[in-house]
Structure 1
């Protein structure tokens, strides 16, 4: 048979109409891979022998347009970008031909064989051709080089050489038509300037297998290359990033992770009547191929596919990537680099092709089109996928009670938080009662003086109501609870990235690693926990002699300032917890194994210094503490301060808690905790129970949770306080939104493969800083997936970082006991 059979229409859908096979053509040559091109509603594929077939899914009769002008089989095909006239280019070892489809249809209707324009001859095997965005030139991959051919003059505009292997794919940058990117079997990509005919950038070796496909997404400014073993390399196209690699995605691991999220147990907080996708649902078959070769890539828009409350910002989950492989197609989020949806062909029994040898994908609005050829048979099929229905069918439902750091209701009478406050009121000392009596309103005779505006006798006592906003514009002159001798200034949000090294200091207690650092709430002091068992407090400029706090028998692993700046809380690897007076440098409270059954791993002040929040083993403990600094010479070594347990909650699965985080700058009911089981759990202390849990938040246990707590010197949107970040060794940093408990973005530019490096939010909530093992600190912007600044000047691994709450200043600490201060230019 000279050509393929007329494609038959295949209406019907399966799985609620998510996937529909609209066309099927038989008598297909069995050689793979087969060159394909898809541009809705048109599809192009080679016919048996030297010919090219074009069909339209909008044509009810499904008539094929066969273009014959080659002597050898077609090895590459591509559609033009302009709508009129619509061009298609086909290439074979003997020649490269460009066709005008409208003229070809007219010639076919008159019974004349369609004719095209020959652009080049005898170029050898051509695996890929692409039109320039203006359709005036075409890039042709021929061996180890890329030829740029003029469509009008039919001449060679540029000859780009430099690859060490056959070029497999090429793409133009839409915003810079003269710039094109190519990938080859040498496992590298190169960026070319076609006007100058020169090389702009050459990447190192990216994967262990040859690169097969390429996609340039200008909206997200990212370049994605796919290889034969299911690896995706994502690189940044931003001018300042110099095409640096953002991340590498293993498609097989992503499919396994997606199945685990979908088939996991129901968590508290999800709707009772909602059914999560089961393992038998589409997209979750019984097995995953060892490798998933990336056969086709196409950008898609995810902004309108998710509900309005699925993310913090509309732009966060706007861009996606449609990935076509041999056993399925996948929707990859280009922001958090996780799968939004999985479509395995074997789960849709009505499809004629279960294993594809070639794949071409494209996306338009909420529809996706896949042109497949069978790996073992002689068929080609066109699939129409309802992308919106596919994505929404494989998403978890929203929480029944939306979570928020800012409380939406008053404290419940049965809440542990209410119990602690009530106990404090009942246990007020006599001195407090006398002070309250002195402040009470008494009946006194009125005194009238001409020089006195008001006697104030009949004035009601003033009560300061709490507002969850940490700073409000225009309230700079309003007095706060603490007396400040300086005027507060708004934290600058623009051009406030601290990148200039201002000060470097070695800790005076010898060469000891700095485990943790934190600024006080007013930004005037910096506390450092060292591995040699001491805690140091410096001035903000690291000048002068630091205050030394000694008493621990192990490395200081955690420290926290109280909201009023009077107390310091520290936890050590010796399993003890100590509360220090920042003024006298004495430990006023010490909790050890005599009080706690298990060693303390993490601790902090909570609820505006009303409680101590700590973790011991698998339990989260809420303690009410009292501080008594009076001295008794007869019992000077006896601890007068004390604490009492208020509430305790176990983590799911009795997993040991590795870290915790809660807001102390304003009243909040939520506490975040991470465990050895790689899960992050949200506790609601107002209700006294676990509110939700994220299973498998990282591939390794989380060693730090960092919340966007803001600052008294900065103003943020209320929704921004729901952001928090987690980090794990070897798994980068992930940004989460409490309202959805979804990973909204991933940051993987900093190397942290062996040592747990810390991270911190800036007061404005726009930046995220992280330590790294390559003697650098990295600063990320919330709107980018790669780092914006790489801070040098360190002499060892950067273990921890901290932003000043009052000025654009970043403190970093290293493993060899050095402190660095970076300021804005």
Structure 2
């Protein structure tokens, strides 16, 4: 056996990310064995039939050789309690439990260490694991899982059912009598070893054997990986029935991570994202290579990921170490993305570049990794600085702290100030005209310019219509409506609306509903259809809806004004229209002469001060005026108009697919999504682009949804439905076809959580935040609506009863109600039980 050689920290890679602390040459290779790592200790086979235990502390005891096997050691595992610290080793001839304190004491006395034999001749062992209290041990021997009692050395249970050799087994921490095992038969099984029964058996998950598994105790999840680099996450919550949360391809995650990092570096340079990088980070070898998931372990990632971590829920989802043949990866279980990539070949002092076996453990900001060479006899122990690793691969800081809630006043050069200034400059002239009209002048007794004839000599005419002379103004009617509608505080701790109360069809024949949205006071529900119409229902879907007709194409976007008087709609015919809700008539129209490119998204902005819209790659800010004249004779001669105030072009002149901005309160930020799959944040106070998130989804985003609905304030009553902490309003969600929902935080520009449980592979299904901020609802193609808790990675409820694809969802801002819309033109109202 060669003398081990250790490398000092000064010889590590630049930045002190990784150091090779120990290197050992063994007489026999050990490419496919289960290793053990529990900082500060590592355990691995030495010379075939011996067990080596190495520690980073106390140099006289760095390497402890334990001999007792007569066949090569194939699996090693540490105990869990640490008092005393145990290590279990298994070979084809026996399974031995070692007490490390006694073994060290005997070694110092010059005696040979000895262990406790738990089982003789178990067969070919691929894995071994100690129970949570170290009183039992699970051994994967062939197609069986043997459960051994440490005290009596008896076999408590022999679990059979796998069709291939068992490759890994784990005890469930919160259900100690439960063991989960994976096998080369590509499935996992859940056992109750006390009863000796099978609780659950999964279907075949992959085309290659499952090699490893790990538990996420905080989220009650099971993670398993296979030889082809696929990773599965299952929910072990009792009501979820072993539901698959996500399936990730490690190679694709590495490619996405490297591309985003390269593009972020490019965007941080002067000139922005003019073109994607040609070579990225030279990841072609990693993408093309097979990345088997050799090991999974919990990663105690330090708080270097920004302030958003932990804000979404009290549940700490955490991260995982993934050990593979060519590198180590940190996988985030909240957003299912890689936080860091460590490739062995990037560190010039490492001796093993291709690993056959791997084990990782982390503690106190440091991680230990023990590797065995695939094509050699070397065994190496690496020490990784977690903070340095993650910090070296974070996106460049933009130098701008973004927040939906403004922290300063409007700048004099801001386009928001410009629109307000023009309005103020127009007021003196109006006042002068009014004053001029009020001046009394000398006039004859009959001073009318036109005197109506008596009509005696004229022919009587037919009465075409009788105008209503008692119609009140929009302002008076709107105020009356608001006062009549009782506002009450939205219950923050209310149960989710899951009880179906009402179902109706919006038209005689099947016509798809493209979008639905509640008004800010929760009284009205607007519904856009593909047959060119918009409908306005009462919130409880009773009564006859108001029909708004005027578009020549399918209605694509609806948006309520903050005061509830106006409804904005856009259509695929390239027009934008503003409707008077009380009069049920058109108030303002913009056609193709003003909008040469189709309008993908539009809304009221800055508490109804502006109209914000996207036309091609342009983000436009319009100052509008709606004529409220009630002259029945001249009411068709409209004087409503729009004036362009400001225009911004997206980075790379990419067409905007969706936009979102807060209209419930004053905010300077506007969020946009582009055809290039990027998200861009515009600061209209500064009049420029503030940030770009490249590669946000694998496909273009079709909807951005902000958590601002609960900030609605009833002006006439002076009270609000509900309010939340300020940082909650910095969360927003995006969705794309086939790529689930992502929850972002503006302060860090990071995806904090991902939801993938709903099928949406071919149709753009809508999403919505609940007013309490606890839930995100989404449509789906399997005739269900899904509701996620923002602190969980899987859906909490699946609402059934639909007859077609659920295209849109909307939460009422005033009470716990959820409305869903389907492709066959049906609306369903769900209420809390």
TM-score greater than 0.5 by the shorter chain: yes
SS of equivalent to 1:390: helix
For residue 173 of structure 1, what is the aligned residue in structure 2? 172
For residue 580 of structure 1, what is the aligned residue in structure 2? 579
Superposed CA RMSD: 2.6
**1:281: how far off?**
11
**Change over 3 Å in CA distance of 1:630–1:223 after alignment to 2:** same
Contact residue 167 and residue 185 of structure 1 kept, 8 A:
yes
For residue 196 of structure 1, what is the aligned residue in structure 2? 195
Query: Given the alignment, which residue of 4, 9, 28 partners 1:7?
Result: 4
**Change over 3 Å in CA distance of 1:638–1:181 after alignment to 2:** same
Instruction: Give deviations 1:147-179, integer Å, cap 9, x for gaps.
Output: 111111111111222222211100112222111
Using the alignment, how far apart are the partners of 2:798 and 2:523 within structure 1?
26
Instruction: Give deviations 1:482-527, integer Å, cap 9, x for gaps.
Output: 8523442211111331111111111135210000000111111111
For residue 394 of structure 2, what is the aligned residue in structure 1? 395
SS of equivalent to 1:652: coil
Using the alignment, how far apart are the partners of 2:101 and 2:431 within structure 1?
91
For residue 474 of structure 1, what is the aligned residue in structure 2? none
Contact residue 811 and residue 820 of structure 1 kept, 8 A:
yes
For residue 730 of structure 1, what is the aligned residue in structure 2? 738
For residue 539 of structure 2, what is the aligned residue in structure 1? 540
**Change over 3 Å in CA distance of 1:263–1:338 after alignment to 2:** same
**1:6: how far off?**
3.9
Contact residue 682 and residue 693 of structure 1 kept, 8 A:
yes
**1:344: how far off?**
0.6
SS of equivalent to 2:418: helix
**1:32: how far off?**
2.2
**Change over 3 Å in CA distance of 1:706–1:481 after alignment to 2:** farther
Instruction: Give deviations 1:401-445, integer Å, cap 9, x for gaps.
Output: 21111111111111111111112223349887899999xxxxxxx
**1:575: how far off?**
1.1
For residue 291 of structure 1, what is the aligned residue in structure 2? 290
Contact residue 267 and residue 693 of structure 1 kept, 8 A:
no
For residue 773 of structure 1, what is the aligned residue in structure 2? 781
Instruction: Give deviations 1:358-383, integer Å, cap 9, x for gaps.
Output: 10111112111100011111100000
Contact residue 753 and residue 793 of structure 2 kept, 8 A:
yes
For residue 383 of structure 1, what is the aligned residue in structure 2? 382
Using the alignment, how far apart are the partners of 1:283 and 1:197 within structure 2?
51
Using the alignment, how far apart are the partners of 2:278 and 2:319 within structure 1?
24
Using the alignment, how far apart are the partners of 1:133 and 1:311 within structure 2?
27
Using the alignment, how far apart are the partners of 1:625 and 1:210 within structure 2?
63
Using the alignment, how far apart are the partners of 1:488 and 1:637 within structure 2?
35
**Change over 3 Å in CA distance of 1:425–1:380 after alignment to 2:** same
**Which is further off, 87-96 or 223-232?**
87-96
**1:599: how far off?**
1.5
**2:800 corresponds to 1:801:** no
**2:377 corresponds to 1:359:** no
For residue 617 of structure 2, what is the aligned residue in structure 1? 618
TM-score under structure 1 normalisation?
0.90
Instruction: List runs of 5+ in structure 1 lacking aligned partners.
Output: 273-277, 439-478
Contact residue 69 and residue 91 of structure 2 kept, 8 A:
yes
Query: Given the alignment, which residue of 742, 745, 748 partners 2:750?
Result: 742
**Change over 3 Å in CA distance of 1:306–1:655 after alignment to 2:** closer
**2:832 corresponds to 1:810:** no
**Which is further off, 640-649 or 117-126?**
117-126
**Change over 3 Å in CA distance of 1:295–1:269 after alignment to 2:** closer
Contact residue 558 and residue 571 of structure 1 kept, 8 A:
yes
SS of equivalent to 2:228: coil
Question: Which runs of structure 2 are paired with 1:281-430 in the superposition (5 Å)?
Answer: 287-302=286-301, 304-308=303-307, 312=311, 319-428=318-427
Instruction: Give deviations 1:218-264, integer Å, cap 9, x for gaps.
Output: 12322110110111111122222222111112111111111112212
Question: Which runs of structure 2 are paired with 1:273-284 in the superposition (5 Å)?
Answer: none
For residue 757 of structure 1, what is the aligned residue in structure 2? 765
Contact residue 658 and residue 674 of structure 1 kept, 8 A:
yes
For residue 445 of structure 1, what is the aligned residue in structure 2? none
Instruction: Give deviations 1:653-672, integer Å, cap 9, x for gaps.
Output: 11111111111111111111
SS of equivalent to 2:253: helix
For residue 242 of structure 1, what is the aligned residue in structure 2? 241
Using the alignment, how far apart are the partners of 1:760 and 1:204 within structure 2?
33
**2:77 corresponds to 1:69:** no
Using the alignment, how far apart are the partners of 1:392 and 1:47 within structure 2?
36
**Change over 3 Å in CA distance of 1:304–1:615 after alignment to 2:** closer
Instruction: List runs of 5+ in structure 2 lacking aligned partners.
Output: 272-276, 438-477, 713-720
Using the alignment, how far apart are the partners of 1:169 and 1:432 within structure 2?
83
SS of equivalent to 2:402: coil
**1:30: how far off?**
2.9
**Change over 3 Å in CA distance of 1:319–1:69 after alignment to 2:** same
Using the alignment, how far apart are the partners of 1:602 and 1:527 within structure 2?
16
SS of equivalent to 1:805: coil
For residue 19 of structure 2, what is the aligned residue in structure 1? 20
Using the alignment, how far apart are the partners of 2:745 and 2:359 within structure 1?
35
**1:28: how far off?**
4.4
For residue 132 of structure 2, what is the aligned residue in structure 1? 133
**1:397: how far off?**
4.0
For residue 596 of structure 1, what is the aligned residue in structure 2? 595
**Change over 3 Å in CA distance of 1:718–1:269 after alignment to 2:** farther
For residue 228 of structure 1, what is the aligned residue in structure 2? 227
Instruction: Give deviations 1:13-41, integer Å, cap 9, x for gaps.
Output: 22222211111101342352133111222
Using the alignment, how far apart are the partners of 1:773 and 1:563 within structure 2?
32
**Change over 3 Å in CA distance of 1:621–1:337 after alignment to 2:** same
**Change over 3 Å in CA distance of 1:416–1:568 after alignment to 2:** same
Instruction: Give deviations 1:541-596, integer Å, cap 9, x for gaps.
Output: 11111111111111111011111111111001111111111122211211111111
Contact residue 183 and residue 189 of structure 1 kept, 8 A:
yes
Using the alignment, how far apart are the partners of 2:279 and 2:630 within structure 1?
69
- How many pairs align? 778
